[in-house]
Amino acid sequence: MSTLQVVGLTVRFGGLKAVDDVSIDVAPAGVTGLIGPNGAGKTTLFNAITGLQRPNAGKILLDGQDITALSPAKRAHRGLGRTFQRLELFLSLSVRDNLRVAGDIRNANRRGRIDVDSECDRLLELTGLSAVADQDVADIPTGQARVVEVARALMAQPRVLLLDEPASGQTEHETAAFGRLLRRLAGDGLTICLVEHDLGLVMDICSQIHVLDYGVVLASGTPEQVQQDPAVIAAYIGTAA
Ligand SMILES: Nc1ncnc2c1ncn2[C@@H]1O[C@H](COP(=O)(O)OP(=O)(O)OP(=O)(O)O)[C@@H](O)[C@H]1O
Q: ipTM for the complex?
A: 0.96
Measure the CA–CA gap between 194 and 166, rounded to whole angstroms. Answer: 8
Which amino acid, residue 97? D
- Is 39 a pocket residue for ligand 1 (Cβ < 6 Å)? yes
pLDDT in tens, 113-131: 899 999 999 999 999 999 9
Confidence of residue 111 (pLDDT cuts 50, 70, 90): confident
Res. 134: pLDDT tops 60? yes
The 3-class SS string of 166-230 reads CCCCCCHHHHHHHHHHHHHHHHCCCEEEEECCCHHHHHHHCCEEEEEECCEEEEEECHHHHHCCH
Query: What confidence score (pLDDT) does residue 241 get?
Result: 42
C-alpha 193 – ligand 1 centre gap (Å): 18
Query: What confidence score (pLDDT) does residue 86 get?
Result: 80
User: What number does the ligand 1 atom closest to the CA of 47 have?
Assistant: 18
pLDDT in tens, 183-205: 999 999 999 999 999 999 999 99
Name the residue at shortest CA distance from atom 4 of ligand 1: 13
Res. 61: pLDDT tops 80? yes
pLDDT in tens, 137-194: 999 999 999 999 999 999 999 999 999 999 999 999 999 999 999 999 999 999 999 9
Which amino acid, residue 13? F
Measure the CA–CA gap between 160 and 171, rounded to whole angstroms. Answer: 26
C-alpha 125 – ligand 1 centre gap (Å): 35
Name the residue at shortest CA distance from atom 28 of ligand 1: 39
Contacts of 145 (CB under 8 A, 6+ apart): 87, 89, 137, 169
Confidence of residue 238 (pLDDT cuts 50, 70, 90): low
Confidence of residue 2 (pLDDT cuts 50, 70, 90): confident
- Is 152 a pocket residue for ligand 1 (Cβ < 6 Å)? no
3-state secondary structure at position 50 = helix
Which amino acid, residue 202? V
User: What number does the ligand 1 atom closest to the CA of 36 have?
Assistant: 21
